[in-house]
Structure formats: structure tokens, C-alpha cells
Amino acid sequence: MATDLRTFVSKDLRLHPRVAYQNLLRPDDAARLAAELPTLTPFRDDYVGALCVVDWDHRLPSQALVLRIWAYYTPESLEAGEEAFDDRLEDIGRRDKFPEFDVPDFDHLPADEAYEVELDVDGQIGRCRLTSAWRRNVAHADAEQAVAIAGRSEEFKLLRQEVPDRPDRLGALEAVSWTPPCESQHDRWTLDVWYLLAFDGRVGTGRSFLVDLTAERVVASRDFSVRTA
């Protein structure tokens, strides 16, 4: 069991064959990458394992890389992830015949938590983000608590004073997604609560409040914009 995914990055870093062919990174770069990564702590359950792969960008020579991390809470989900990884690796092997240019990457493997970390070709770390679709599945009780905390915060009270003529049709505070520490730079997972300030039918803009449910406070606020399909 582990409480930080960097443990698994340092122990078992795998390379896409096209990354290995280009000699861009080596497995012994794992310790350096792990040390430079932001905190990657579990949502609610400790990790039993993870798959960590430096993936390619479908270009030769590559211009960027991505570190994909798939995290697992149970032996059963880890086993399913390993099987999917092996199947994908076999598919890559069958299709990896030069001068054939494109071969699959390792995106969309099953996992309890999934992350993408941007890397340049020298292995320098860029943005890290959670890619699990479940991040937008917020339990009703958690959403209610986060909205209540945001609603009584000083940040929200000040915002209401700044926009006294905001139309009621824009709705109330809404808890929209979970945010991991690697994205917020906060110690714990937070819930992102949105307050829409304007919407023209295609683009909405507003203020986001990151709420720490354990500390029961807003830890950050920022502007957001979202475009409808």
C-alpha cells in the first residue's frame, strides 16, 4: 500500500517502444522524475499499485512526451490494468514495423485514478492533471457541504458585493468537480465550486472556489470560462 504515486514512479517506470528507440529517457531516470513530480496522493483509498509509462507524441522525432500514471485501489483493478497494458503492448509490437510511422500509445487504460504529466524530450516536467472522468461525479452530501462552505466564505461575500446586479437566471453556487493536490498545490483534495457571472449562450464566465471539506474553508479562488458544445 502507498499514499503517494511517486513511490511507484521511482520503482517501475516503463517506456513506450518509440520513446526507447529514440533514447529520450531511460528507466534509471525514474528516481529523478519521481523527486520532481508534485504530490500525488489518493482520493480516498490508499494505492495497492500503479502503472507508470512515458508515452510518445506520434511524431518522429518526438517533440514532447507524456508521463501517464494509472493508479489502483484493489488487487483486482490492478490486475485488470496490467492485462490491458499487456494487450496494448502486444498491439504496439504487431504494428511497430519501420518505416510504418504511427503506432498506438497507452492512453485510455482502465484505472481507479489516471494522471497525465507533460514532459519535454529532456524529461523536464510540465503540467500535471487528473484525467479520470469520475472527477465530475460529486456525491450529493459532498456537494451540499462544499456549496455551504463556499457560500459563507469571505471570498464569496466580497464577490457578491462586486456584482450586485448579477441575474438570478445564472443560478446558484454549484459543486462541479474534484481537484487533486497536483493541480491545486493544496495539501488535500478539494471540491471546485463554480459561481456563474455571465453567459451569452455559448461561453460562460465566473468565479471558482476550491473548497477543502476537511478544513471547511475556501483555499483558493480563480476566474473560469467554459464553452458549451
Calpha distance 102→95 (Å, rounded): 8
CA dihedral for 192, 193, 198, 203, sign (positive or negative): positive
Alpha helices, H only, 12-54: 17-21, 30-36
- The pLDDT score that the predictor gives to residue 215 is 97
- Supply the mean pLDDT for the chain: 94
Res. 156: pLDDT tops 80: yes
Q: What is the pLDDT of residues 9-53, one digit of tens each?
A: 999 999 999 999 999 988 789 999 999 999 999 998 999 999 999
Residue type present at position 37: L
Report how far residue 75's alpha carbon sits from residue 177's, in angstroms, rounded to the nearest whole number: 27
Render pLDDT for 29-39 as a digit per residue (tens, 0 to 9). Answer: 999 999 999 99
Contacts of 135 (CB under 8 A, 6+ apart): 177, 178, 179
- pLDDT tops 70 at residue 60: yes
Nearest partner of 109 among 75, 66, 78, 64, judged by Cα? 78
Q: Give the tens place of pLDDT for each residue, 74-110.
A: 999 999 999 999 999 999 998 887 656 789 999 999 9
Statement: residue 72 has pLDDT above 90: yes
Which tops the pLDDT comparison, 139 or 101? 139
Whose CA is closest to 38, among 146, 129, 173, 160? 129
What pLDDT, on the 0 to 100 scale, is given for residue 229? Answer: 67
Domains parsed from the chain with CATH numbers:
6-131 (no CATH), 135-227 (3.10.450)
Under a CB-based contact definition with an 8 Å cutoff, are residues 51 and 195 in contact?
no
Q: How many degrees, rounded to 5, is the angle at CA 62 between CA 56 and CA 63?
A: 110
pTM of the predicted protein model: 0.92
What pLDDT score was predicted for residue 208? 97
Calculate mean pLDDT across residues 99-128.
92
